[in-house]
Amino acid sequence: MFSRDEAKQDEMRRLLGDERVRYYVGDVRDYDSVLRASRGIDHVFHAAALKQVPSCEFFPLEAVRTNILGSANVVEAAERNGVGSVVVLSTDKAVYPVNAMGMSKAMMEKVAQAHARNNPNSATTVSCVRYGNVMYSRGSVIPLFIEQIKAGRAPTVTDPTMTRFLMSLGESVELVEHAFQHARPGDIFIRKAAACTIGDLAEAVCELFNVPAKLDVIGVRHGEKLDETLASREELTQAEDFGEFLRVPLDARDLNYSLYVSEGELDEGPVEDFNSSNAPRMGVPEIIELLKRLPEVRAELALRDPVLAC
């Protein structure tokens, strides 16, 4: 475990109580600290990031330092130390990005792919995973709605028609495992997901907590998109479909394009990207079922009304 936050590491140490886990305090921005931590390591899962959209709009260079340069440090240190594989965690906001967070994650993907392209004989397989919103992740909207309802307030909704892909923490971890087991250098693995509107999500939380679905519409925040895209149209023309997952292989051509002008094939491919407005859409009842499966939501329901939690 390598991270900046010694308090969280201490909490994890006590929670796990597992002497096989070693803890390193350091920062992905500091190459030497990453180099030291990745010595003698077989596999790296790179999740360190600045991930809040509005805050990255105010401090874009901080996103550059952590999400792009920090990721480059992780890849470079892994290469130097002969680490077997690196899986870097990306987001749907990296596709057709409009905000600094998404742009920096898109560049992180490019850094990972460039490593694969420029080091064909490397001992280190670097791949990416990309997914939508992880339900109940720290600082995200579902715990916020629940806190607001508990405080007797209406949930603050940016735009009820805004759509997001939803998945559980377990599903995002499955994607990381899939990449770990199957990745070829430079692959991007994408987890398909269902989407919903934020208005329906807020309504579902209200219904679950047995309060009237009265929403407080606050307007779109800095850098937010109305809909998110998990796979671009350009990627879909190349992607392999594995049911739950998509695999976008590396474009491993070199810069000698003339070879491909005469030999290339014209492929129109799909006309649309895979986005949260054309993906399978969940309604309020389906969102409620999904929410009920989250342990954190069940715990909140049990506190409020033990009968409701059953």
Q: Which residues bind ligand GDU (CB under 6 A)?
A: 51-53, 91, 93, 101, 133-134, 137, 140-141, 144, 156-158, 162, 164, 198, 224
Which is catalytic among the residues 93, 105, 192, 225? 93
Cβ closest to ligand GDU, residue 66 vs residue 133: 133
Say whether 93 is catalytic: yes
Least separation in angstroms between residue 58's CB and ligand GDU is 13
- Cβ-contact 166, 125 below 8 angstroms: no
Cβ closest to ligand GDU, residue 220 vs residue 259: 220
Q: Which two structure tokens, joined as six digits, stand for 89?
A: 């965690």
In the Cβ-directed half-sphere of 204, how many Cα atoms lie within 13 Å? 21
Cβ closest to ligand GDU, residue 168 vs residue 232: 168
Cβ closest to ligand GDU, residue 83 vs residue 202: 202
DSSP state of 182: H
- Output the 3-class SS for the chain: CEECCHHHHHHHHHHHCCCCCCCEECCCCCHHHHHHHCCCCCEEEECCCCCCHHHHHHCHHHHHHHHHHHHHHHHHHHHHCCCCEEEEEEEHHHCCCCCHHHHHHHHHHHHHHHHHHHCCCCCCEEEEEEECEECCCCCCHHHHHHHHHHCCCCCEECCCCCEEEEECHHHHHHHHHHHHHHCCCCCEEEECCCEEEHHHHHHHHHHHCCCCCCCEECCCCCCCCCCCEEECHHHHCCCEEECCEEEECCCCCCCCCHHHHHHCCCCCCCCCCEECCCCCECCHHHHHHHHHCCHHHHHHHHHHCCCCCC
Least separation in angstroms between residue 137's CB and ligand GDU is 4
- What residue has token string 């749907």? 92
Least separation in angstroms between residue 219's CB and ligand GDU is 9
Least separation in angstroms between residue 85's CB and ligand GDU is 23
Cβ closest to ligand GDU, residue 52 vs residue 238: 52
Least separation in angstroms between residue 49's CB and ligand GDU is 7
Least separation in angstroms between residue 261's CB and ligand GDU is 39
Cβ closest to ligand GDU, residue 102 vs residue 185: 102
Residues with catalytic roles: 93
